[in-house]
Amino acid sequence: MVVKLFILGLPGSGKSSVARYIRTYIGDIGWESDHFNDYGILQRMYRGDIEDKQFKPAAHGGFDVLDLSVFDKALETLADEVQKYNTQEQKMLLIEFSRNDYRSAFRYFNQDFLQDAYFLYLNTDIDICKERIRERIINPSTEDDYFVSDYIFNAYYHQDDGRCISDILASDFKVEDRRVKIINNSCSLREASEEITPFIDHIAPSYQLARRY
C-alpha cells in the first residue's frame, strides 16, 4: 500500500528536516519512503533559462524567480510525477512544497489523489524562517540547505493561506479534517516531534506500529 503525506509551509519552515525525521521514524517500523519536492524542478528550469527571462541568479549559488508563473509550471510537473507513481510496495510518499496560495496549488492534483492523502502544515514565523535560511547557508549540512532570498519572500511569500489549509481542503476538495495536521514549527525539531509523531502513528497502520514494542 502507498500512503501519501504532503509536507507544506514557508521556505525555512523546516519541511525537509521534518521529512528526514519522518523517513527515519517510519523506517524503524518497516516502511520505505520516497521524497518528492519541486526545488529540483525549479532548479532545472533556472538552468534552462539561458536568457534570464524567468529567473535571475541569487547569492550563494541560488536563484530568484522573476516570472512567478513558473511556480505553477513546476507544481504541475511535480503533481504529474507523484500522480503517475506506481508501486506494489508498502511506502510513504512525502510530497514537499511551498506556495502562497494553497487553494490554487491543490488544483494541480486530482481530487481523488487528495482525498486519501494526509497533510502536515508547518506554521512558522517568517522571521524564524529567514534566520534558519541564513544559518543553513553558513553551515550547510544537507543538499536541502539552499538559499532563499528576501526578494522572493517579498515578491511571492508575503501572503500565505496555509493557516486555513484545513478549511481549504474540506470545502474545496472534500478532505476529512482528521487527515490534516497544523503544527507550530517555530520551535526545535525535538519539540515539534511531540506533535508530528502521533500524527504519523495515526497515518501508519497499527499492525506496523506494533513492531516498535
Q: Encode pLDDT of 141-156 as tens digits.
A: 898 899 999 999 999 9
Q: What mean pLDDT is reported for the chain? A: 92
- Tell me the C-alpha to C-alpha distance, in Å, between residue 105 and each of 8, 32, 69, 146, 203: 11, 27, 12, 22, 23
Q: Which domains are assigned to the chain?
A: 2-206 (3.40.50.300)
C-beta atoms surrounding 204 within 10 Å: 18
Give the Cα separation of 13 and 33 in Å (integer).
Answer: 21
User: What does the DSSP 8-state code read for residue 95?
Assistant: E
Determine the pLDDT at residue 206: 43
- For range 27-47, the mean pLDDT: 93
53 within 8 A of 66, measured Cβ to Cβ: yes
Residue 96 burial (10 A CB sphere; 0-12, 13-18, 19+) = buried
Question: How confident is residue 212, by pLDDT bands cut at 50, 70 and 90?
Answer: very low
147 within 8 A of 62, measured Cβ to Cβ: yes
